[in-house]
Amino acid sequence: LSSRSGKGGRARRMNAEHYSAMAMILSGIAVFLMSTVLNMRAWYGRYNIEVPATLFKMNATLAWILQESPVLVWCVYSYVHANPACRGSPANVVLLFFLAAHYFNRTCIYPLLIRGGKKTPVEVMLLAFGFCVWNGYNQTTWLMQSHVYGAEWVNDFRFVGGLILAATGMAINVHSDHILRNLRKPGETGYRVPQGGMFELVSGANFLGEIIEWTGFAIAQWSLVGFAFAFFTASFIGPRGYHHHQYYLRKFDNYPKHRRAIIPFIL
């Protein structure tokens, strides 16, 4: 009876996660349409000047720490309270640790290295915080409660290839952040043309890296939950990379003409 009850509980969680993943996909479509058709941009970074004066703002470093931390908390909590079968699966643990590594960087390292960051509207931070609570729950519940990857999955080309792609994307993202950060001298807040790395090909190299990262993660995970995260990420930061490209073209007369917005050689 307890075994059947446990399986029934996992089935209910999987159904709930699939509904949640579908909601995230629909949200991604909505965000993409608002960014492209309505030309709306999230009010942080260089688009901070578009923020209504009535909105409260907060320190950018603190905003990043608060908004990214929920996923890291979910990773720790889910591992401690994991389904033993999930925690005993090497593939499950590797995927969880990859997720945790990304958000450890985003919560504990990246914010502390910000130079001259503009203040972030509290409303923007709260939206990002809400998404991380939602997505962190989806990813960690799938990995540590609902689905057990068999021992053979670690040798599957989807898992191996997906992880390689995810690690490549993470490296591009971290390196691109390093380039952007070092464009400014201490105390500077303006923008310059980024050079080096994937910025030689696209204006949104940091965004491209993150899209590649979560696409690889979704392939390695091979689930609707992982796909929804990758889809939402691309829907949100893909148009932002395009807006950055248009910004550079308007601001810098000598901006490299061969450079694309987000997809090398194409867009």
pTM reported for the whole predicted model:
0.87
Band (pLDDT 50/70/90 cuts) for residue 15 is: confident
Cβ atoms of residues 50 and 254 within 8 Å: no
Determine the pLDDT at residue 133: 97
Question: How many residues make up the chain in this entry?
Answer: 267
Determine the pLDDT at residue 42: 56
The rounded mean pLDDT for the chain is 87
pLDDT tens for 153-165 read: 999 999 999 999 9
Asked if residue 71 has pLDDT above 70, the reply is: yes
Structure-model confidence comparison of residues 4 and 253, the more confident one: 253
Structure-model confidence comparison of residues 202 and 249, the more confident one: 202
78 SS3 class: helix
Asked if residue 53 has pLDDT above 70, the reply is: no
- Which residues does 199 contact at the CB level (< 8 Å), separation at least 6? 176, 179, 205, 259
Cβ atoms of residues 197 and 259 within 8 Å: no
